[in-house]
């Protein structure tokens, strides 16, 4: 799984470099944002059998994404700023473990409230990015709507399909629990987006 995590990260990072010039408005932001980059960390975390493996796989995915993205960008003739590489690598150290563990909780955790937190974390990243980065800072309304819709859909779908929700036949409760977690996840996500904006600018 750990080797696969690296390959998935490299592949997705390389793909996003090319997709930035291919995706039409208002979907172009999906190739240049945090949410789509941490989603693979969530997936490999869900596939992992052990919590520690989910955490490590999440980090490796993000490292692979940075390597794949900048390798392809350099091959396409774009300049690569070492400071930017370091910044995104550090971001992966923070976000990778959290989203990897979120994926593990969504699939493996038995308490519904814990599984629902995993669902809320991934959806919350998209929601926070849509509101703060695209809505407030960039004022890209179309991108903001896309990210917020995706975030809401992820919270609902993942909440309903969490293993604990399916096992207990409580899909509606799973959605409700995931939505309730947004009261905590969204402020934290928004703070993270503000901090990232301050670092980038």
153 token code pair: 């859909």
C-alpha pair distances (Å), 88 with each of 18, 28, 187: 18, 19, 22
- pTM value is 0.91
DSSP codes joined into one string, 7-48: HHHHHHHHHHHHHTTTSPTTTGGGGSSHHHHHHHHHHHHHH-
Cα 35 to chain center, whole Å? 4
Domain residue extents for the chain: 1-108, 110-201
DSSP codes joined into one string, 143-195: HHHHHHHHHHHHHHHHHHHSHHHHHHT-HHHHHHHHHHHHHHHHHHHHHHHHH
Phi, psi of 57, deg, nearest 5: -65, -35
Q: Print pLDDT tens along the chain (201 aa).
A: 677 889 999 999 999 988 888 888 889 889 888 999 999 999 999 999 999 999 999 999 999 999 999 999 888 888 888 888 888 888 888 899 999 999 999 999 999 999 999 999 999 999 999 999 999 999 999 999 999 999 999 999 999 999 888 877 889 999 999 999 999 999 999 998 898 888 877
């Amino acid at each position: 799984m750990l080797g696969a995590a690296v390959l998935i990260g490299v592949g997705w990072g390389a793909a996003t470099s090319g997709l930035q010039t291919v995706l039409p408005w208002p979907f172009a932001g999906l190739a240049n944002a945090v949410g789509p980059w941490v989603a693979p960390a969530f997936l490999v975390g869900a596939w992992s059998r052990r919590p520690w493996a989910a955490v490590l796989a999440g980090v490796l995915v993000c490292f692979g994404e940075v390597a794949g993205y900048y390798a392809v960008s350099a091959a396409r003739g774009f300049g690569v700023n070492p400071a930017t590489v370091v910044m995104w690598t550090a971001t992966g150290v923070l976000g990778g473990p959290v989203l990897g563990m979120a994926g593990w909780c969504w699939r493996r955790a038995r308490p519904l409230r814990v599984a629902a937190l995993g669902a809320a974390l991934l959806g919350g990243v998209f929601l926070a990015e849509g509101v703060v980065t695209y809505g407030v800072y960039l004022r890209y309304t179309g991108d903001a709507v896309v990210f917020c819709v995706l975030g809401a859909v992820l919270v609902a779908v993942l909440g309903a399909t969490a293993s604990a929700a399916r096992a207990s036949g409580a899909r509606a409760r799973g959605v409700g629990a995931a939505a309730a977690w947004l009261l905590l996840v969204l402020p934290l996500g928004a703070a993270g987006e503000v901090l990232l904006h301050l670092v980038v600018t």
